[in-house]
Structure 1
Amino acid sequence: MGYAEKRGTYYRGRYKIAPGKYGTVKDDQGRTVKFKGKREAEQAADAEEAKVRDGTRRDPSLGAETFGEYVNRWFEDIELADTTMQNYRREIETHLLPEFGERPLNLIQPRDITAWERKLKEAGYAKESIKTYRARLHLILADAVEEGLIPSNPAARRRGRGKRAGRSGHRGPEKVITSPLGILLIAERLAVLSGRDDEFVAAVLKGYTGMRFGEIVGLERTFVRRRAVRVEWQLVELDTGELVSCPPKDDSYRTLDTPEWLDALVHGHIARARPRPCPCHGHTYVFSSFGTVRRWGRNGQPTVEDVATLAGVSHGTVSNVLNRPAVVAEETRLRVTHVMAELGYLRGRTPEETAAHWRRKSFASRLFRPAVTGQYEKVGSRPGHPVPVRADSWMAGTLVQGRGASARATVCWVPIAQGLTPHGLRHSHRTHMEDLGTPKVLMDERMGHMDGSVSARYAHVTDEMRLRLMAGLTRSWEASLDARLAMCPRSSVAVLDALLQARAAEVFSQISPSEGGEGGLKRL
């Protein structure tokens, strides 16, 4: 029951919110209502307490904590994969805290979020990125609703509200794929750029199994079997530069059948490379990096990872402080710069160190995109330029390196599949299986996808399905070798050169004298 409390010349109404906790009757603007009479104050307090009991009145102190205070508690309570945690942290520190960090939860309004989205769009962020940041904000505020801190989620978007009808706004860019011949040519160029066969084998394996990049990097020798590859782990790179071993995405453990020719290619690579346990994980991986890795710091001085750890922020936040300080909250920027001064951090480069594993960014920029487009991308003040190649007896030529390489080059590569990414090879494999008429249940198993439909529960993979797929992949591989052989019979990549010579001998063995003609040739 509510009661009236004498406050000098007026009364205020007091009502019970929770055991041992009382609220004061206030008006719509949050100001305490001053009653002239005791009875009037009691009646108003009774009415408010009744609202508390039936759930129509909330504790006015709920949601008063700032978004920054709440999100710190929220982040400590979640436990997700290392990569997901680092992505959440980067998005929160870079995009959410600078805008909402000092605002009380109960004062964040839908119009504030709309204005924030507009600001991100004007700053040049991609639609998909903005969508991701809003989804992260929606998740955090949804948990605040569940805790009873706010009555509703201001980040929830009413379907179609304020948007043109249709789904055109949700369309992403079309994913670029390539053909089996494209996979072969890209694999050859990768090997030309790296100067070894490893990248050729890895690209072909990825293109004909649909494995993710992290699964290729984390493929251990023990999981390469006869006519099959087992996906048990992947190596993913964190913002700190550390490569961590974790289960495949969505726990998509699977065994991938490999055609006889691909099985021989992978086992031949293992026999040549003789993989050894890596110094960082102690496991023996099938593939290793082609060169070196560069780290921040100079002469053993503190690194950017040291700064991030001591400042309690992510690697990406330190990078933003160095390169785009305007997007970082002032308090965070000052804390990071203070740590830099305290550690004596200097921005520079250390001597090159041998890298045990491919890094996603360097693999894409130094190998994959140049192989696909024939162009090195712009780096700092250095403009983009064609890959310098010298024409010789090999179709792909040989890479020209060293000072004045561009001036000494005689030819350049034409694009194979403009816009293709390493992950695009996974899409290419899925499309290739469609082209071969592979049953969906086998495609889902091979890609590591889960189909929760009723029809999928009654479909099962058979040995005949697997054999037909392996035969189809073999036909595609042989057709791509024949097409490559028609372009040029030799290659500067040793493993491909051997394959071309073997294929040429096989084709020649299928040629016999024609019936009734002298010295005539007929291909069987």
Structure 2
Amino acid sequence: MGFAENRGDYWRGRYKIAPGKYGTVADINGKTIRYRTKRAAEKAAAVEEEKALTSSRAMPEPEAERITFGDYASTWYDGQDLAASTMQNYRRHIEEHLLPNFESLMVDEITKGEIDAWERSERERGYAASSIKTWRGTLHLILADAVDEGMRDSNPATRRRGRGKRAGRSRNRASEKVVTSALGVLLIAERAALLSGRDDEFVAVVLKGYTGMRWGEIVGLEAEFVRPASVRVESQLYELDSGEMHRCPPKDDSYRTIDSPGWLSGLLAGQVTRAGEKPCECHGLRYLFSGHGAANGAARRPGAKLVDVARAAEVSTGTVSNVLNRPGAVAEATRARVEKAIADLGYIRAWASGENAAHWRRNGFATWLFHPAATGWYPKKAPEEARPVPLLASPWPGIPARGRGAASRAESCWLPIARGLTPHGLRHSHKTMMDGFGTPPKLKDERMGHEDGSVQARYSHVTTEMRRALMGDLTNAWEDSLAARRELSPGSPVKVLDALLRPGC
């Protein structure tokens, strides 16, 4: 309804043109008409508002823009400006799970029934409920923006609270995370080092188990942030689908300093020395840990290859492998011929060339080091079936047999320590360990990189005494695990652990 507005020495009429927009009563030249009384201004404004409403009714409603979901999703994705990891995840969700079902549908025609049917089909294909929930969240986000742009009246991906079957909702709950004890951390770390053939994996697993650092934070830990009594988390390395290790801030900007007990600081100091001074080529920075195995492209490096040695010695590549891994299984004359070819060609094994990959890959570390260390089995990876880690029995806890015919030469295998444990499970294990110590919540959140926005947390503070108590608890847990390990065997094939097991260490 039109209204009058007092302008001091006159009144002017104001009327509504559109939601949130108002006009002023004016003459044919566009000049505001000044009224002497409020009543006159109100009457003129009412007349003009009626004219505006009549005019808007006469104009046909413009047709909403219609576009397919595939075209809109592409435009939507191009308009995002987010972290590389988030952009990668959105692309994967859209291309692998949303476009196959919705690409050709018009954005304004997608219904809730179609979305529910898609969700059921994804579940029938064996995808985890948590994954499907994440993909539906991306779909909801895209359609919410379509609603804001006037392409739809409502968002069909919205879940209405309190609707649907009560039974079966537990399928959306993730299974309970497997955790392990301080002794479990130590034993898994030892096995991981035996599988890799170096101390680095021992230190990394122990560091993760006793600090709760995230995987990306461990991989991206720079040597300069290892300090005498703490570790500083300043960044993480996130592995993109392209293979690039993207350096970015820690999750949720959880920059923090993590206190480390003296024994852990000693392990880290030794690892700094082993890491050397050479920076990685991808970032130009000194990282505490490097990857395990030949770097990508190492097979293309200059120099003789294993196949060249085989040709020169007139034997198979398998025979050359046997000479390198178990020379006792090869006839003396053949072994001498192969060794001469190696010397003549200057062949250097990839692992001996020092060309390790610059960084661990999440899947490779979990599959070939952590999983077999925790369970005693290599996982199923086509074309290979799951199989126990073949071991030479002595020295305890067994040395992984390598090379051709390793399984036939195996004398024992490892018992599982914690079936289902993942590298991330060590983060849960550390939190559980602190729960057992009775560590104050504020200190636990600080250490884990969590943020509690409650009033109680605002009025809680970490003290020196709390930190000292936690360091003492972690040290006691570590010493107890070493004592338990000594009872199993007084020494270890892992150099750094063997030194710790000696009396007086």
Which residues of 2 match residues 362-441 of structure 1 at below 5 A? 362-392=364-394, 394-441=395-442
- The alignment yields a C-alpha RMSD, in angstroms, of 2.5
Query: Structure 2 CA distance, aligned partners of 1:280 and 1:413?
Result: 37
SS in 2 for 1:235: strand
8 A contact 1:276–1:285 mirrored in 2:
no
1:361 corresponds to 2:363 = yes
Instruction: Provide, for residues 109-148 of structure 1, a one-character-per-residue CA deviation record: whole Å limited to 9, x for no partner.
Output: 1011011112212222221111111111011111111222
8 A contact 2:388–2:413 mirrored in 1:
yes
Number of aligned residues? 406
AA aligned opposite 2:495: A
Deviates more, 1:469-478 or 1:383-392: 383-392
The residue that corresponds to 2:76 in the other structure is: 74
Cα separation, partners in 2 of 1:58 and 1:275, compared to 1, 3 Å: farther
AA aligned opposite 2:112: P
Instruction: Provide, for residues 135-182 of structure 1, a one-character-per-residue CA deviation record: whole Å limited to 9, x for no partner.
Output: 110111111112222111000011132222585243111100000000
8 A contact 2:239–2:361 mirrored in 1:
yes
Q: Percent identity of the aligned residues? A: 58
Query: Structure 2 CA distance, aligned partners of 1:203 and 1:244?
Result: 22
Instruction: Provide, for residues 169-228 of structure 1, a one-character-per-residue CA deviation record: whole Å limited to 9, x for no partner.
Output: 431111000000000000000000000000001111111000011111110011111100
Which residues of 2 match residues 66-465 of structure 1 at below 5 A? 66-164=68-166, 168-294=170-296, 354-392=356-394, 394-465=395-466
- Structure 2 residue ranges without an equivalent (≥5): 1-16, 20-52, 303-349
The residue that corresponds to 1:42 in the other structure is: none
Which residues of 2 match residues 5-16 of structure 1 at below 5 A? none
8 A contact 1:17–1:49 mirrored in 2:
no
The residue that corresponds to 2:504 in the other structure is: 505
AA aligned opposite 1:376: Y
Query: Structure 1 CA distance, aligned partners of 2:280 and 2:186?
Result: 29
AA aligned opposite 1:219: L
AA aligned opposite 2:64: S
Cα separation, partners in 2 of 1:427 and 1:77, compared to 1, 3 Å: same
Cα separation, partners in 2 of 1:434 and 1:427, compared to 1, 3 Å: same
Cα separation, partners in 2 of 1:59 and 1:421, compared to 1, 3 Å: farther
Query: Structure 2 CA distance, aligned partners of 1:58 and 1:440?
Result: 58
Q: CA deviation at 1:362?
A: 0.4
Which residues of 2 match residues 473-484 of structure 1 at below 5 A? 473-484=474-485
After TM superposition, what 4+ stretches of structure 1 lie above 6 angstroms from structure 2? 295-300
Instruction: Provide, for residues 434-465 of structure 1, a one-character-per-residue CA deviation record: whole Å limited to 9, x for no partner.
Output: 11010000000000001111111111111111
- Structure 1 residue ranges without an equivalent (≥5): 1-15, 19-45, 301-350, 507-524
Q: CA deviation at 1:72?
A: 1.5
Q: CA deviation at 1:275?
A: 4.3
SS in 1 for 2:258: strand
Query: Structure 1 CA distance, aligned partners of 2:197 and 2:176?
Result: 32
Cα separation, partners in 2 of 1:415 and 1:51, compared to 1, 3 Å: farther
SS in 1 for 2:490: coil
Cα separation, partners in 2 of 1:51 and 1:198, compared to 1, 3 Å: farther
Query: Structure 1 CA distance, aligned partners of 2:55 and 2:97?
Result: 39
Query: Structure 2 CA distance, aligned partners of 1:261 and 1:134?
Result: 46
8 A contact 1:191–1:199 mirrored in 2:
yes
AA aligned opposite 1:431: T
Instruction: Provide, for residues 71-110 of structure 1, a one-character-per-residue CA deviation record: whole Å limited to 9, x for no partner.
Output: 1221112111111110100110111112111111110110
8 A contact 2:290–2:356 mirrored in 1:
no
- The TM-score, its normalising length taken from structure 1, stands at 0.74
